[in-house]
Amino acid sequence: MNQLNSRSLTAVEVFNKQAKVYQDKYMDVSMYHDTFDLFCSYIPKDDAALLDIACGPGNVTAYLLQKRPGFRILGIDLAPNMIELARKNNPGATFEQKDARAIRTIGQQFDAIVCAFGLPYLSKTESEQLIADAYDLLAPGGVLYLSTMEGEEHLSGYYSSSSGDEIYIYYHQAAHLVAALNQNDFALQAVQRVPAPNQHGWPTDDLILIAKKR
């Protein structure tokens, strides 16, 4: 596992501490159902192998398995309490404690990979690496789903969560992520934005990118 920097350690500690609160607040992913449905439409195999990066309490896995019960899903997260909740919420899936920055060590190939709101806790460089690593893990024609909070880089910084804990949030721009996908020979399939409430005082969009390995 990669050595965690102080920002990453803080994020893991906060998510581990607030796992149940996060589950209660974010288990419902209906805001993004249309984007997950589109993602699934690019996955022809009924028994496709999927990797859910930064899976949290298994909220995305739960919806995907509801829609496509044949999927074989491996979820990873660094917060052990999130993994425990994910296992309870999805007894038909597999979950492991693993760093999103170390997915290249997973000895398995996948038909699809989803990273729903993991990028806000990864730097620009780490996000580029995740895209490159995802390409290597995907089978030919495999599909990648990324979602993040869209915003100018200067907005990145420490913000207080609803619990009062401070956590470092990285804002990402579509142009940078699309360029990284192109550089790794992904074919962009969809770019969508979902207006989202922002507790920090300015309007923002949640950015969703779906790309296919060439």
Adjacent-strand bridge partners of 165? none
Structurally, how many domains does the chain consist of? 1
Contact status, residue 137 vs residue 110, Cβ threshold 8 Å: yes
Task: Quote the pLDDT of residue 199.
Answer: 60
pLDDT tens-digit readout, 45-87? 999 999 999 999 999 999 999 999 999 999 999 999 999 999 9
* Structural domain span for residue 57: 6-213
pTM: 0.94
Across the range 143-147, mean pLDDT stands at 98
Per-residue confidence band for 1, with pLDDT thresholds at 50, 70 and 90: very low
pLDDT digits (tens, 9 = 90+) for 18-32: 999 999 999 999 999
For residue 1, tell me if it sits in a domain: no
Question: Which residue from 56, 143, 132, 53 is spatially nearest to 99, judged by alpha carbons?
Answer: 53
- Indicate whether 31 belongs to any domain: yes
Provide the sign of the torsion angle of the four alpha carbons 49, 15, 59, 113, taken in this order.
negative
Secondary structure of residue 55 in the 3-state scheme: coil
- What integer is the mean pLDDT of 157-181? 91
All residues at 6 or more sequence positions from 198 whose CB lies less than 8 Å from its CB, including other chains: 204
Cβ within 8 Å of residue 5, ≥6 positions away: none
Query: Does 146 have pLDDT greater than 50?
Result: yes
* CATH number, domain containing residue 33: 3.40.50.150
- The verdict on residue 67 lying in a domain is yes
